[in-house]
Structure 1
Amino acid sequence: MNRAVHLIVGDGVVGRAAADVLARRGIAHALASRTPSPGLATPQRRVDALDPDALLGASADASHLYLTLGLPYDARVWERDWPRVIDNAIAAARRHGLRLVMFDNLYGYGPVPLRQPIREDHPQQPPSRKGRVRQAIGERLMQAARNEGVPVLIARASDFYGPGVRGALLFASAIERQLQGKTAQWLGDPDRLHSYTYVPDAARGLVELALDEGAYGQAWHLPTMTPAPTSRALLQMSARLLGAPQRVQVLPAAMQSALGLFVP
């Protein structure tokens, strides 16, 4: 096993899946989070990414620093904390000579509706506050790559599905109900094409990029369902597999706030 550690900051489903990929490849790795999870076989370190000294200390023996963490789904928190996380990660990468691997989403793209297919050169004119945060931190990372000598790559994925995914809209409002034999519910237009990313595929792609010296200095899209299905088609497929009703109940937009699924 290689001695230099691939440190994954964020022990959610993507971070854990990436750790599994690294373990299978015999690459030393560790998960880092503010509250390590009991019972994990993966080595863990306690670190708050908002604490620059803690991140510096935790990454001292690393060769690669992955950012797979999530922050509370609140635009004010994103605006306050994401720039700090990114600056701390860049500082650690500069101090220790790390390769910095950012796991990102598609929020920074715009205007909406997005062009299809969505490619890495899609315009970045996001309509939302969260999207503008993602755009800004992406620009900050690429600035570090261009001007500060930090090897950086950004790997973007769409909405998740797969083992361990519980908080995503696809599971929480639809597949969880199908598992109970109930009709899936959906917020928005179920007949619009929508990209979905299978977490194990994303994790494998993330590690492949991290290990490829030629991948740095740019953004990439991780493997995602192609061609993009409609949400209705995907939910009808899962209904057949689970023996649940084929119907998809479309919820009115007015229920967004009541369900807690929308934060500007």
Structure 2
Amino acid sequence: MSRTSHVNIIALLGFCFQGSKRALVYEFMPNGSFEKLIYEENAVIGDRQLDCQTLYDIAIGVARGLEYLHKGCNTRILHFDIKPHNILLDENFCPKISDFGLAKVCTRKESIVSIFGARGTAGYIAPEVFSRNFGAVSHKSDVYSYGMMVLEMVGRRRNLKVEVDASSEIYFPHWIYNWLVSNQELGLRSIRNEFEDEKVRKMTIVSLWCIQTNPSTRPSISKVVEMLEGRAELLQVPPKPFWFSPPTSP
């Protein structure tokens, strides 16, 4: 981590320890965790809401950070825990990927990695990570987690809700997919015009490609960046996610 250097990766400044207490020291992020701002119920900065353009810029920034980890380092770094909590925001809301406690380092030539047991956070773990029946674990597993996070950015709600109500009984990606193909409005206050609606639609299509069950059908993170920076009308709508809904806590 001390040898990584990218605008969208948290900078490791050093470490300290006293007896059994140990800590890593990172650069200070004034706007804290993205988790505090992403959801509709608390997505307010001062007296204004996190706007659509900022969300879009954060989505691209995180994708570029992942692209650096997957392709830009001397060794490939797979994060295995991409989620809003692990995305920190600086004073300009530039996103920084943090918390590499579950990360795995492999050579750049390795396309498939070997891990023991599932690693990650419920709601963001790629299916192949906890069951090899879905495919091999690779950099595409980070792409899946990224896609679930972007879906949450689009829907402004958590993909797993402990309190299940009528609106959350549908599997979250299916809810987003149904909105996309029916050409309805999400009713988000952050979408103020057609330009912003196009950005949200583009984020939706890309994220649905990212969470395809078969890892081979997911785009690489470099392709994700290319798709996000391209035109929405050139993007093909992916197949509907058919994986089952994860169980919620009682």
Fold similarity call, TM over 0.5:
no
From the CA coordinates, give the structure whose radius of gyration is larger.
1
Task: Report which structure shows greater RCO (CA 8 Å, sep ≥6).
Answer: 2
Larger strand share, 1 or 2:
1
Q: TM-score, normalised by structure 2?
A: 0.27
